[in-house]
Amino acid sequence: MSADNHFKLSIVMPVFNEINTIDTIIKKVLNTHFSKELIIIDDGSEDGTREYLKKLEDSRIQVIYHEKNMGKGAALQTGFSRVKGDLVIIQDADLEYDPGDYGKLIQPILLGYADVVYGSRFLGGPHRVLFFWHYLANKFLTTISNVFTNINLSDMETCYKVFKSEVAKKLNLQSQSFGVEPEITAKIVQLKCRIYEVPISYFGRDYSEGKKIKWTDGFIALWAILKYNVFKKIS
């Protein structure tokens, strides 16, 4: 695949209780200039998000409903099984990540340099100043992941990960919740993928604005680093 080829982008968007942002993020995604499909997985929303999604009428959008909340990892498993595009990108529904960055994210793949691209919040892009302890926990988890994978990522926990579709389909994700981020990282290393990072903008939100991640999710991620790098490697 080169920068001159025509390609289709599959955007996989897990959603859980995002009624305040879902309309805006969908419009932002659809306004990107790429040929695309948007696969939305409603992961048991109870705040009106599901009712909003049922009213959508756009041939570019496919909505899948989980009957109960199963976690981001489970939503990605469902979404990855439905992709039909050449490239796959993960998109959160909370407006922290800007679809305007898609161009820079996919460029290393289109140029033939990469199989996977991570969008790093720590490589110089504009970002909202928020929680020091969240930053420290993120850097700690990224460092521990790097120790086991022997790569030098700056932001393992980033939402923005882009894959060639054949890579996404080989991941065979098992994590149900936030352990999916270190699982993905472990598996793309085990698949010997060429990995790039690019700087992205980041518009973080605080808990009053609906941020969901908890301190306990850090322990889930730490266990996933050990599990998928030591105990359950891809054969």
User: At 209, phi and psi to the nearest 5?
Assistant: -100, 5
Amino acid 196: pLDDT: 98
Amino acid 208: pLDDT: 43
Amino acid 209: pLDDT: 44
Determine the residue type at 35. Answer: S
Q: Where are the domains of the chain?
A: 9-231
Amino acid 78: pLDDT: 97
Scanning the chain, the segments in alpha helix (DSSP H) are: 22-30, 49-54, 72-80, 102-110, 132-149, 165-170, 180-190, 215-226
Question: Tokens at residue 208, please?
Answer: 């009053």
Give residues with Cβ within 8 angstroms of 33, minimum separation 6.
none
| Low-confidence residues in the chain, pLDDT < 50 | 207-210, 235
Amino acid 1: pLDDT: 61
Cβ contact 224:144 at 8 Å: no
**Cα diameter, the chain:** 46
Amino acid 6: pLDDT: 84
CA distances from 135 to 3, 129, 218 (A): 34, 10, 12
Amino acid 231: pLDDT: 81
- 120 DSSP β-pair partners: 199
Domain at 9-231: CATH code: 3.90.550.10
In degrees, rounded to 5, the angle at the alpha carbon of residue 162 between the alpha carbons of residues 161 and 167 is 110
- 155 DSSP β-pair partners: none
Cα–Cα distance measured from residue 92 to residue 87, given in angstroms and rounded to the nearest whole number:
17
Cβ contact 161:90 at 8 Å: yes
